[in-house]
Amino acid sequence: MSVFTIEAGLAILGLALLLVEAFKPDISRRTLGLTAIAGAVLALVLFSFVPHDTASLPGFIQPWHQLDNLAIFYKGFSLVITILVLWLTLECAPYLSRFTVDGKLAEMFSLPLIVCSGMMWMASARDLVTVFVSLELVTVSFYVLVAFARKSSFSLEAGVKYLILGALSTGILVYGIAWTYGATGTMSFDGIAKALANPATSKTAALFGAAMLLCGLGFKVAAAPFHMWVPDVYQGAPTPVTAFLSVGSKAAGFVVLTRALDAFLAQGSVIATEVQALLLVVGSLTVLLGSLPAMFQTSVKRLLAYSSISHAGYLLLALASRESARFDLSSGGIVAFYLATYLPMTVLGFLGLGLMRANGLGEEIKDFTGLAKRNPFIALLMTISFASLAGLPLTAGFLGKLFVFIGLADHGYWGALSCAVIAAAAGFYYYFKTILAMYTTEGTDVPVLTFSTAAKSVAGALALAILILGVYPKPLQGVLTSAPVVSSVSR
């Protein structure tokens, strides 16, 4: 058995669940959900034991697939977020089924498995063709997931917007790939790095191709100015799908960005200076255009959407900073560390939001009023989530931002650092505004909310992970520095 077998098995399981539900419509959604979760958990267990080297892959896939440290990390990351999203979907199933035509949720359990396969293939891509095929597998599946709640006008609107803008970004991405191929004569990341190190390569053509390619990927990771779809799509999509978009889709986009930038910014590249400057400008704009509008949001879901944009900006600034000798981490390593800390705090936030919707509450900040009296335990866990997203010390979110800030300072990027600090300060305002509402009870009716033991256990585990990573991050940092977290492109 190889890693590729596990990835293919997940996709086959997803298709099988769709067929089972189609030919046996009376099967319970709980059976489908538990089967999907069991399959993803089994894949994670098997992934831990199979060989993690390219030689173990089938011969026909070896030229297009790589298993370096970066790929291994993101494959594990994809499996973990998929398991959490499937469980959240099962937990919110009674609420979600009210917005479907027939009450069925088969696609909500099968498509995340197919998305996971696409994200895992994307993490190992050696060339732009493999990136494109894997990316479209993920994106097309998300088109269906975003518009899944067909009785909700918000979900249908979100699906149409995501489809139209997604198709546009795909066209830009393909155009960038074509120009990059025309300028370098290759689509492999290794070949692009070598071609760009050759002074004979047309700088204008290469720079235009790189710009178009980064624009296409910028849509996928919600980078400014390609971020305007995020608030409406995140608000309209079912909560588990929003969580998947915020964490899983972002991670998939950034692993591709990491590999592309390793090629564009390789030693001797004729476009390195321009690409790095572009990253700094886009990253600075993204953190500001994510954080500042979030201060005026009244919907927690839209607030988290703008927050997701801001976090994408921090990740772009990390990529622009490149290596930091202080932490012994490459730019890809800092991005991986940031995403690893981003996963538990974001999923915990959407978990709390989803459970509240399942209890009949809305998504406005006012709906969080008195949550500490309704359910003190959930309020405490949500507080930990939002405090970590804001970057409060002794939480995982603080260290992720700290790595980015110090990396910018070490390289003297003071303008970008100023933008990042302003965005972080704004984050404290809008996150703690929600926390304050949870502990306000004056003049409100506070009926008791009930959550399952499983929900409390998963939420508690996520909160514990946030605190442990915030106090003792060395194990995670050790995983990311045990081998260079870079692509096979030589610097």
Mean pLDDT within 59-78: 84
Mean pLDDT within 220-234: 88
The residues, any chain, with a CB within 8 Å of residue 219's CB and separated by 6 or more, are 165, 166, 168, 169, 172, 226, 229
User: What percentage of the chain reaches a pLDDT higher than 70?
Assistant: 95
Please state the pTM of the whole predicted model.
Answer: 0.90
Distance CA 4, CA 9 (A): 8
As a three-state string, the secondary structure of 96-113 is HHHHCCCCCCHHHHHHHH
Among 22-26, 77-81, 275-279, the range scoring the smallest mean pLDDT is 22-26
pLDDT of residue 239: 86
pLDDT of residue 94: 78
Mean pLDDT within 61-70: 82
How high is the mean pLDDT of the chain?
A: 86
Residue with tokens 């921090």: 314
Q: What amino acid occupies position 94?
A: P
Task: Indicate the pLDDT class of residue 455, thresholds 50, 70 and 90.
Answer: confident
> Above 70 in pLDDT, residue 70?
yes
Task: Indicate the pLDDT class of residue 489, thresholds 50, 70 and 90.
Answer: very low
Per-residue burial over 93-114, b = 16 or more CB atoms within 10 Å of its CB, e = otherwise: bebbeeebeeeebbbbbbbbbb
Domain boundaries, the chain: 290-485
> Above 50 in pLDDT, residue 484?
no
Beta bridge partners of 125: 65
Distance CA 112, CA 109 (A): 6
Alpha carbon distance, N-terminus to C-terminus of the chain: 33
Mean pLDDT within 373-378: 82
Express each pLDDT in 176-215 by its tens digit: 999 999 999 999 998 999 999 988 888 999 999 999 999 9
Beta bridge partners of 299: 364
pLDDT of residue 483: 44
Q: What amino acid occupies position 258?
A: T
Among 62-66, 136-140, 142-146, the range scoring the smallest mean pLDDT is 62-66
Q: How far is CA 120 from the centre of its chain?
A: 13
The dihedrals phi and psi of 176, each to the nearest 5 degrees, come to -65, -40
